[in-house]
Structure 1
Amino acid sequence: MDPELLWSPAERPRRGRPPAYSRAAITAEAVAIADTEGLTAVTMRAVAARIGAGTMSLYSYVPNKETLLELMIDQVSGDHRLPPGPSGDWRADLRKLAHEQRAIMRRHPWLPAALPARQTLGPNTLATLEYALAVLEPVRLDARAALETFSLLTGFVAGHVSYELAQEQAAEAAGRTSGEILEAQARYLRSTSVGGTYPRVARALTVPSNDPAPRAVFDRLLDRMINGLTAAV
């Protein structure tokens, strides 16, 4: 994969008839398939069928599925609604950025699993990274630490969204709400800790529960994450 070729501002001109499709249109169809059917459903054949092209003709626009995945990741990264610059409150800006990431990953449930396979950074991703580094400037991290901080924050969001989606799918399959499943788990754990076998678990379960709503849980963990990442500064 050649990043310079992949992310060139314009597709190379072709001799003869003008191209019938564009990489952007092809990528949009691939994203639509992944959103509704999952990432495994995204094949060159499936995308070609969506745009009404022959499978082999698609390879003249996108050489392989790995390249298509790079295009898909960067295209949805363009969904970030970023202000022109940081507000000056870096903690608030980081929280807002993390919530933007969460919203995008929930709209595109395949994205958390796709991110570890990413091999290069496209223009939309670079714009988000540039903004994140600007937000972190008041923290006075060195350049490498700032990059690592944003990477860890993104990893936290991806992991948490994956957990949220898995819990929702499990609840739907069981015909119960997430709250009902969590309460059943809590009853079971309380019953196993009564005899003193798990004293630490028993103490933890006596602590009053905080707001169990998914966004509230995300906010609590996000604050701990941000505090932990910048505690040494």
Structure 2
Amino acid sequence: MQKSDHLDHEALENFPNGAKLSWGIVKQPKRGPKGELSIKKIVDAAIEIADKDGLAAVSMNRVAGSLGFTTMSLYRYISSKDDLLLLMQDAVCGISIPPEKAETDWREEMREYVRACIVVFREHHWFGDIPIMSVPLGPNNLLVVDWALRSMREFPLSDYEKMSIVLLLSSYARSTGMIQRDMFRAIQAGSSLEAFSGLNYTAALNHLVKPERYPNLHPLIASGVYTGEDESENGVGNDFDFGLERILDGIQYYLEKKKT
């Protein structure tokens, strides 16, 4: 038994403290009135601040003040801001995962996964501002990874290939989510949707972009596609959905190639 405990200790030796807290494998402080403060209360308060004022507004001092406690009170539960950020990150990954269907359409399940990840970036604008420091380690984050793998259960692929597809889908969700986040921020600051479509700049671009200097771009500007005047081609009205479908096409092609 002692040997097993020793092995467990070794396995967790390099595990980040914030991840340990997210898994509940760190003893909670016993001092103070029972239930007056908890990791969940601290994390929820920090998320509320970040949702309202951005990640830069989150500090141990401000979180403590919002809860009516001293900063030192928080350090009894969470030892650093880095640990708090990891806990915040994992908390907002606690999304509702749809139940598995009897007949799974892997493309539709991957669409659901990507769209759900994009929502996290859109609803919590600070989420993409947290630097990526490691592979996902928190329980909620790993449940999302598990969901992404579910659609590939019967794929004739190696574990490495499956994880590479998860990374591909997650990367697309991250980039799309951060673009949508930035668009939202710009609009909140007074910009307009026309600025992103480029409609306000059509006349200027038609004048400035000459075919001799921009032989490949000029036809697209002249046709109105570049500035969103003509999005009827192929019935595609959403750039993000178009990109996702091409990724899924690539995965499908790869699967068919593996079978031959």
- Alignment match, 1:224: 246
Cα distance in 2 for residues equivalent to 1:83 and 1:4: 25
2:72 is matched with which residue? Answer: 56
Q: 2:91 maps to which residue?
A: 75
Change (3 A) 1:165 1:188: farther
Letter aligned with residue 72 of structure 1: M
After superposition, give the CA deviation of every residue in 1:80-106 in whole Å (9 maximum; x if it has no partner).
221222551010011011111111211
Q: Deviations over 1:161-184 (max 9, x none)?
A: 2222323433454x4422255113
Aligned length: 228
After superposing the two structures, state which structure 1 stretch, 111-120 or 45-54, moved more. 111-120
Are 1:136 and 2:158 an aligned pair? no
Q: Percent identity?
A: 26
* Structure 1 residue 210 corresponds to structure 2 residue 231: yes
Report Cα offsets for 1:124-168 as digits up to 9, x if no partner.
Answer: 111111111111223333212212221222222221222223234
d(CA) in 2 for partners of 1:74, 1:55 = 22
Cα pair distance change 1:225/1:186, threshold 3 Å: farther
Deviates more, 1:141-150 or 1:126-135: 141-150
Paired AA for residue 79 in structure 2:
P
State whether residues 18 and 82 of structure 2, in contact with CA within 8 Å, keep that contact through their aligned partners in structure 1. Answer: no
Contact 1:70 1:119 in 2 (8 A): no
Name the Cα RMSD after superposition: 2.5
Alignment correspondent of 1:104: 120
Tell me if 1:37 matches 2:58.
no
Q: For residue 69 of structure 1, report the CA deviation from its aligned partner.
A: 0.7
The equivalent residue for 2:213 is: 197
* Structure 1 contact 77–124 (Cα < 8 Å) conserved: yes
Match status 1:7 vs 2:22:
yes
SS where residue 128 of structure 2 aligns? helix
Deviates more, 1:190-199 or 1:6-15: 6-15
| Unaligned stretches of 5+ residues in structure 1 | none
Cα contact 1:23–1:62 (8 A) shared by 2? yes
Match of 1:121 in 2: 137
In the alignment, is the contact (CA less than 8 A) between 1:75 and 1:124 conserved in 2? yes
Whole-angstrom distance in 2 between the partners of 1:204 and 1:64: 51
Q: Could you say which structure has the larger radius of gyration? A: 2
Q: Distance in 1 between matches of 2:96 and 2:247?
A: 22
Q: Is the 8 A contact 2:118 2:177 kept in 1?
A: yes
| Greater Cα shift, 100-109 or 196-205 | 196-205
Change over 3 Å in CA distance of 1:100–1:115 after alignment to 2: farther
Residue type at the aligned position of 1:96:
E
**Pairwise CA distance, 1:230:** 5.0
- Counterpart code for 2:58: V
Q: Distance in 2 between matches of 1:216 and 1:43?
A: 38
- Residues 28, 183 of structure 1: CA spacing in aligned structure 2 closer, same or farther, 3 A cutoff? same
Letter in 1 for 2:212: G
- Structure 2: how far apart are the matches of 1:12 and 1:131? 30
Q: TM-score of the superposition, structure 2-length normalised?
A: 0.77
Structure 1 range deviating more: 187-196 or 121-130: 187-196
Residues in 1 aligned to 2:29 and 2:45: alpha-carbon distance in whole angstroms:
23
Distance change >3 Å, CA 187–CA 143, structure 1 → 2: farther
When residues 121 and 185 of structure 1 are mapped into structure 2, their CA distance, relative to the original with a 3 A threshold, is: farther
Residue 227 of structure 1 aligns with an amino acid whose one-letter code is D
